[in-house]
Amino acid sequence: MPSCAAVACPKDYDYVFRTYRGFLYGVLYNSGVPPHDIDDASGEIWLRMLGQDGLDRYDGQVTENPPRIKSYLAAYFSLSARAELTRIHTRESRTTILEPQIEPEPPEVFEDTELLDSLLATTSGDARHFVQVASEYPTYTKARACLVAEGWDTPRIRQAVKTARAAVRGYLCDHR
């Protein structure tokens, strides 16, 4: 019969799971795993560790030197977290391709017509179009999503925003 030192005992895994479960959650969160995927990723890592006899690679008793086992687990969890993050991104990119495109929300009416009229009068081209789109949506993110859906790239959006902000500053300076 093999001894506990030769084969990782289930009690070692039980101890490690109960003691370092929160630590693994922190490693996953800090690695960029989305919060709604942390439970699944954690379960996958624990199962992989058990299946690959991950504690057999650790030379020493699990309960004897907590900083040492924590260091070992930090390295193991970090590598596993990167693998899980890659798996999550791959899964999301596949589902994003298969899902239909979401249309931007219907526009809301911008209420400050004096400011809007002034900005439309002082801007032109892309900046004017950005101001029109931004006046229809409550947040910059939604307005940007609308412009991206229209085929605008990031540098073009940045330039339009920069020009529109300059127009807003000019308006504010004139109306103080």
- Indicate whether 165 and 127 sit together in one domain: yes
Query: What is the per-residue pLDDT across 41-61, written as a single tens digit (0 to 9) for each?
Result: 888 888 888 777 777 777 666
Of residues 160 and 100, more confidence is placed in 160
According to the model, what pLDDT value does residue 3 have? 43
Domain range spanning residue 151? 113-174
- Indicate whether 119 and 75 sit together in one domain: no
- Indicate whether 18 and 84 sit together in one domain: yes
* Model confidence at 8: pLDDT above 50: no
- Indicate whether 20 and 76 sit together in one domain: yes
Task: State which of 68, 98, 128 marks the end of a domain.
Answer: 98
- Indicate whether 14 and 93 sit together in one domain: yes
Nearest to 150 by CA among 165, 137, 133, 163: 133
- Indicate whether 147 and 90 sit together in one domain: no
Cβ neighbours of residue 45 closer than 8 Å, sequence gap 6 or more: 24, 28, 77, 80, 81, 84
Nearest to 120 by CA among 131, 105, 107: 131
Q: How confident is the model at residue 1 (pLDDT cuts 50, 70, 90)?
A: very low
Which pTM was predicted?
0.44
69 near 16, Cβ under 8 Å? yes
* Model confidence at 156: pLDDT above 60: yes
Alpha-carbon dihedral angle through residues 45, 46, 51, 54, given to the nearest 10 degrees:
90
- Indicate whether 87 and 23 sit together in one domain: yes
Helices (H), 31-153: 38-51, 66-98, 113-122, 125-136, 140-149
Query: What is the per-residue pLDDT across 119-150, written as a single tens digit (0 to 9) for each?
Result: 777 777 888 888 888 878 777 778 888 888 88
Please report whether residue 108 resides in a domain. Answer: no
Task: State which of 98, 121, 144 marks the end of a domain.
Answer: 98
